[in-house]
Amino acid sequence: MLPGDISFSPLDYECQIKYFPDLDYQFTFVNDKSKLLEKLKSEFPHESKKIDIYFKYLRILEKKSGMFSLPKMYSPAIAKIMFGVSRAFNVLPHMDKSVTSFLLLLVGFKGDISSFGVKKSAYKTIIGDPSTMSRNPTEKGWVCDDVTISFPSLLDKEHRDPNYHMAEIHHETRYEYFEKYEGKQNSDEYKQITEQITKFYLNHLNEKFPGIIEYVKYSKLITPLDVKNLTHHINGSMFGLDIQKADNPELSPRSGMKNLFFTGEDIFSHGLSPLNGVITASVVTGKNLITRFKKT
């Protein structure tokens, strides 16, 4: 391994812990599809048929997902025809949806936090129905309805110093809530908003792991405005498909020049950079490597 290289270990078997305060209920997801199916049916026996249907649709989506990137492996002319056929016959009805932006707090710790029992898992707290994203983070008294805490430094196999770790705290939100502050990030009002959000996140972290806030030595909030400024993504979107890129046959790994190829998120999607590389590798080798990538 070269200096500066990072190798990551998988999440723990209990990979995601979801807590629902409204119901005083917690469910732990496991890192095994078949075991997760069994666990869900055991926890919700009366919903067994619906759970089966849900997993069935997941398998269908998994099979179809490769079809959306397939046109990128051909010339722009052929890709244009393939995209047209896909739209005409509604082959991928949900692939015209881009994900939203998000808020992210980066947290740095100094001191050994192992005593807090932190795992290589994602800790998620859900209030009500967060899919509507109806709660505005810029309003006073805001309470986040879907917040996730994770500790990326725990996944770094080469991490050796237990006195330094980091956490990420984030949730998805609407860009529109922050749009009015474009060009006004230095205003007192905007600074108060970011301080309010940061305080909420840190308090939530301390509720999950009482006393850990004493080890926090650094925090940096990333807002949808920051995401847009740093990435130039429309509406500060961060994960998933950028439809204007993914559905554009002209944005292709093929440069039009012999032995010159393009890769990166402009080819297909942002936040899924490995897939972009696989698409380009498929073009270079003349083999469809998407299926192999998905299995890996």
pLDDT tens, position by position, 20-77: 999 999 999 999 999 999 999 999 999 999 999 999 988 887 777 667 777 878 787 8
Judgement on whether residues 231 and 110 belong to the same structural domain of the protein:
yes
Task: Work out whether the CA dihedral 22, 24, 30, 35 comes out positive or negative.
Answer: negative
Relative to beta strand 101-110, strand 216-222 is antiparallel
Q: Is residue 199 domain-shared with residue 106, that is, in the same domain?
A: yes
Cα-atom radius of gyration of the chain, to the nearest Å? 22
Question: Cα(125)–Cα(19) distance, rounded to whole angstroms?
Answer: 5
Global pTM? 0.80
* Shared domain check, 79 and 140: no
Cα 158 to the center of its chain, rounded Å:
24
Say whether both 137 and 111 belong to one domain: yes
The torsion angle over the Cα atoms of residues 193, 199, 204 and 206, rounded to 10 degrees, is 170
Residues 76 and 121 in one domain: no
C-beta separation of 158 from 6 below 8 A = yes
Q: Which of 197, 219, 236 is the last residue of a domain?
A: 236
The model's pLDDT over 271-283, given as tens digits with 9 standing for 90+, comes to: 556 778 888 888 8
Its domain, for residue 251, covers: 32-97+239-295
As a whole-number percent, the residues of the chain with pLDDT over 70 amount to: 88
**Separation of alpha carbons 68 and 84, rounded Å:** 12
Question: How high is the pLDDT of residue 8?
Answer: 62
Among 206, 236, 266, residue at a domain's last position: 236
Higher-confidence residue of 208 and 158: namely 208
Rounded Cα–Cα distance for residues 274 and 65 (Å):
15
Comparison of pLDDT for 153 and 252, the residue scoring more: 153
Q: Please state the domain count of the chain.
A: 2
Is position 84 within any domain? yes
Among 220, 236, 252, the domain boundary falls at: 236
Model pLDDT, residue 1: 45
For residue 29, the model assigns a pLDDT of: 95
Query: What confidence tier does 245 reach under pLDDT thresholds 50, 70, 90?
Result: low
61 residue type, one letter: L
Q: How many CA atoms lie within 13 A of 54 on its CB side?
A: 10
Residue 190 inside a domain? The answer is yes
Q: Is pLDDT larger for residue 178 or for residue 247?
A: 178
- CA quadruple 102, 103, 106, 107: dihedral positive or negative? negative
Q: Provide the 3-class DSSP secondary structure of residue 5.
A: coil
Same-domain status, 63 and 130? no
Q: Does residue 15 form part of some domain?
A: no
Q: What percent of the chain has pLDDT over 90?
A: 52
The reply to whether 215 and 120 lie within a common domain is yes
Residue 229 and residue 105 share a domain: yes
Q: What is the pLDDT of residue 25?
A: 94
Mean pLDDT of the chain: 86
Asked which of 67-81, 118-132, 142-156, 186-200 is least confident by mean pLDDT, the reply is: 67-81
